Amino acid sequence: MSDKDLRKYSRIVVDGPEKAPSRAMLRAVGFGEDDFSKPQIGIASTWSMVTPCNMHIKELADEAAAGADEAGAKGVVFNTISVSDGISMGTPGMRYSLVSREIIADSIEAVAGAEGFDGLVTIGGCDKNMPACVMAMARMNRPSVFVYGGTIRPGAKRRDIVAVFEAVGAAASGRITSEELLEVEQTAIPGPGACGGMYTANTMASAIEALGMSLANSSAQEAVSADKIKDCRRAGAAVMELIRRDIKPLDIMTRPAFENAIAVVIALGGSTNAVLHLLALAREADVDLSLDDFTRIGARVPVLGDLKPSGRYLMSELIAIGGIQPMMKRMLDRGLLHGDCLTVTGKTLAENLADVEDYPAGQDIVRDFETPIKPDSHLAILYGNLAPEGAVAKISGKEGLRFEGTARVFASEEEALQAILGDEVKSGDVVVVRYEGPRGGPGMREMLSPTSAIMGKGLGSDVALITDGRFSGGSHGFVVGHVSPEAAVGGPIGLLEDGDRILIDAQTRELNVDVDEAELERRKTRWQPPATTIRRGALAKYRACVSSASEGAVTVPPPWDR
């Protein structure tokens, strides 16, 4: 293949006398004469100083560009936004978190499309910019590799950000002093990297690797490490090889590849957000994936990783024993993964795993199949008169598999948190947080603050929480999110009243309220959609276009273009 053929998109931008203005501008940003004849690889960096998850990614992007240059391409770094879930959590600002996934995907698409890049490296460090990067790669369908920015190192006493959230609940209940709370706050976050447990960032990094869109071990490297630097260099070079072989994201992101990603998420005990994000990625890749696929795959895949939040270990400790590759090799050998799926290495998953060594003897972070944490998935897709379109529960089994209790209904996360911290929520209650869905929020806020407050107060086994919003990967306890249809569009969760009896059953996969259909219909005739003051800007646009959580909460074209 000639160099001109390798430059499928960039040659349109830089070749010929009429493109002299384009070349003139590129000379100013560092292009030499020879660079115009090389494939251009865009390096999408999510660097910013708004969060430790992404504060180191500028250097990683430069390494990826250098790797592309060494392989005979021209690496061009550009930025996109990131917002911090951990900082905005529990505030109105959290509405922008899921919205940012769409903004980031749109912005990468816009830059790559406008500049004529022949390939892409995208580097994400927090849970929304990671799926956003891969969504954009699927849209553009140009040779691409995703790089995970890496996990944070543990804080003092193996603390992480969830330890801080739970310490707030512990302080409110008098279980620790204000001085002890301050000490946790001061020591939990020691530097760069994404949240340290199997929360959403590490879950999605693992899912993307299993999907085939990252190089081996990209998900299992600390943010500040020589391995992560090498990963970035290798990614830049790998895209050049993908360009030569004309291997594109949609060649990799097939239905079997998505099934691999789901299986790995389950085996690791990963975040409920993976359901939302994998559905969104599948839509971008035009792959038919639904909530029921999580149930089908979950019936045969056990939870093997004893990882936080419900387990004992941090991602850094999993990295120390070999990361997720040995677990994937075990799963492949047991027939739980599709080994013939193509990956960004240009090899199949089975070829990538062929020489992977098993975990060291005596480790107990990843269980054997004979002694799993749970014999089937911790992600339970529930249906019933409260969730006709489905809901997603994260139930490890430690909380039990069934909860029946009395509804305590709140119209926002703030109201619920105030009641929990004020000792108004008691054992046997089911906290209902509604009007926090994709449209109702708008933005589908995560409920880490109320769930952490419940755990911090020692009520994790005695109180359940259901919401049309979603959960942080750090949430644990008896929690059910993504309840669809959401309250803001007239879903049954919007018809609940204090005192209603609610049944959550992970075994029968039901979410029901003990109110007869006639009474629910009477309540529906009285229901009115909530008023809103959000009439312009990103949140208003998102609310107007967003789909149900059961479809990934993706933004869709307006009706006249569907």
| 443 half-sphere exposure, CB direction, 13 A CA radius | 27
Rounded to whole angstroms, how far apart are CA atoms 437 and 442?
A: 6
Residues 120 and 137: their CA atoms lie apart, in Å, by: 7
Does the annotation count 472 as an active-site position? yes
- For 195-218, b/e burial (b = at least 16 CB within 10 A) is bbbbbbbbbbbbbbbbbbbbbbbb
Q: Which of 154, 132, 147 is CA-nearest to residue 83?
A: 132
Q: Is the dihedral of CA 256, 262, 265, 269 positive or negative?
A: negative
Backbone CA torsion sign across 86, 87, 88, 90:
positive
- HEC string of 21-49? HHHHHHHHCCCCHHHHHCCEEEEEECCCC
Write the CB contacts of 186 (distance below 8 Å, at least 6 apart in sequence): none
Q: How far is the C-alpha of 493 from the C-alpha of 399, rounded, in Å?
A: 23
d(CA 236, CA 191): 25
Can you spell out the DSSP letters for 287-342? ----HHHHHHHHTT--B-B-BTTTSSB-HHHHHHTTTTHHHHHHHHHTT-S-TT-B
Residue among 82, 214, 472, 484 flagged as catalytic: 472
Q: Which residues are catalytic?
A: 472
